[in-house]
Structure 1
Amino acid sequence: MEGAHGNDMELISKTLQVEHKIFYFDLKKNPSGWYLKISEKASGSRSTIIVPASGIRTFVDLFQYYVSGETPLESSEVQVNTKVFYFDVGDNQRGRFLKVSEVTRNRSTIIVPAGNGDGEGWASFRDILAVINEGLHSLAPEENTSADFQEPSSEHISHLVGKSQKAAFRSSVEEGAASVGHESSGALSKSIRVEQKKFYFDLGSNARGQYLRISEVTGSDRSAIILPVSALEQFYETVGQFVETVRNQELPEAGSSRMRPGASGGAAIRSWSEG
């Protein structure tokens, strides 16, 4: 799928560092179609896998499964078009890692560290895949319809990945459109979609203690905030106050969700939520 030099057009490019490794993500297009090139650079070596555009959403789903903290985490096999990818979790002296192998004529492998022992590296990897997936939908809607559909829940992913050490997880689009929805639910991770935005909630820990990482993915942009668990109750109460304010300012018309004209507080909240 990757064409000769000069024939490929690069549309989106992202870089991620996880521990001592650097990963490069390049969404490209050539006469054969769209594809994502993921390269790992570490200690002077470089390895690359090529993911057809139709498989990017599946990669997001699977990384979400591994971030979610389901136990035990199973290995999985992904078929995308004519390619097969294997996902295997392992451990070494540096900690946990996820090995992603592409099997064509030769086997090519990248290894993604979990990061800080709590999956932060996997979560960051997932976020960039989600950004590229959203960008693909904007650039080529015919290649990907994920922005119009809910992603499978973690229970659905677990069912597909579980039961055997090599369960097939095939790329597909689920029926059922929704503008706001809970898309996954795990012990340590959740995600929701709100209109064109996607939010990931990941509970993690480091030397300073536990925290909640909230990532926002909009189009080709990604941002995140970190909340110490000691602040979650206050955060919850503050958000609840805004929810009550918005409810009180809604028009009484049936089915209407608009704010009263001139309600500056409600307008400010609406502008914030719509980004």
Structure 2
Amino acid sequence: MSDIGSGDEGITSQKYHGQGMDAGGNNFDSGQQPQEQELATKMLQIQSKRFYLDVKQNRRGRFIKVAEIGADGRRSQIFLAMSTAAEFRDHLSSFSDFYSSLGPPNPDNVPDDGKLKSEMMLKDNRRYYLDLKENSRGRFLRVSQTITRGGPRSQVALPAQGMIEFRDALTDLLDDFGTDDGGFKGELPEGRHLRVDNKNFYFDIGQNNRGIYMKVSEVKSNFRTAITVPEKCWTRFRDILADYCDKMCRATHQPQEPHSGSASAAGGGGARPSGSQPAPAQFDIDTLTGSAPNRI
């Protein structure tokens, strides 16, 4: 399962006041899915910020939503699969140990980018960048969540002094609900490649925050496009294609009226009979191994 349940979970609880807009303008109050359940929640007050850790569950499994609310009311959030939350918990321990080993802040000895220690976590189509940073306001852990190959980025910033408290709260939730993400656990089929004339079609099976999908990409030398078909409608998609294939097959092989006196009717000459179809396009199909390359 991917790290978030639906991609548009709403912050509708009374604990989130206001219009539910984060710094980037994302509306948390829209799109709440009725089948989603909140199983548990914890609130932490760390310096001037409040953090909510919500364990949620939907048909794709369980995950943890981390929401940060600043003193000015600005909101931001990230989503963690249960297994990713466990990995994050372990990183918090190592970051805390490193932070404890640091001396007092020294404005003359701060890296140009402010980063003191960094780690990265990868889960399905999402990356998480953990950066312990220092600026004029102090030291903090920034956790950024991104979608691979671009896409929106969301992040929360945890004051360094609160990392242990945050880790302990996360540990309590993981002890209660485990580190099993739920959802699909089998091995996804390998990608396929189809070449027709000067076009290449790639069929890649993947999994993201909305479930399993098939991405069909058309690639030419100076052109590429793709569609994404959710797994829940593959059967219907196949049936529609099969129906068109059957109809075209019947139309193509209807008996043709004889043309008396023509060279083709007499069995001679090289001309194609009137009404016949051109030779089918040549194509090759192969199977790709591993993940899809950056052709899409």
Larger relative contact order (C-alpha < 8 A, sep ≥ 6)?
A: 2
TM-score of the two chains, using structure 1 as the length reference:
0.47
Between structures 1 and 2, the one with greater helix share: 1
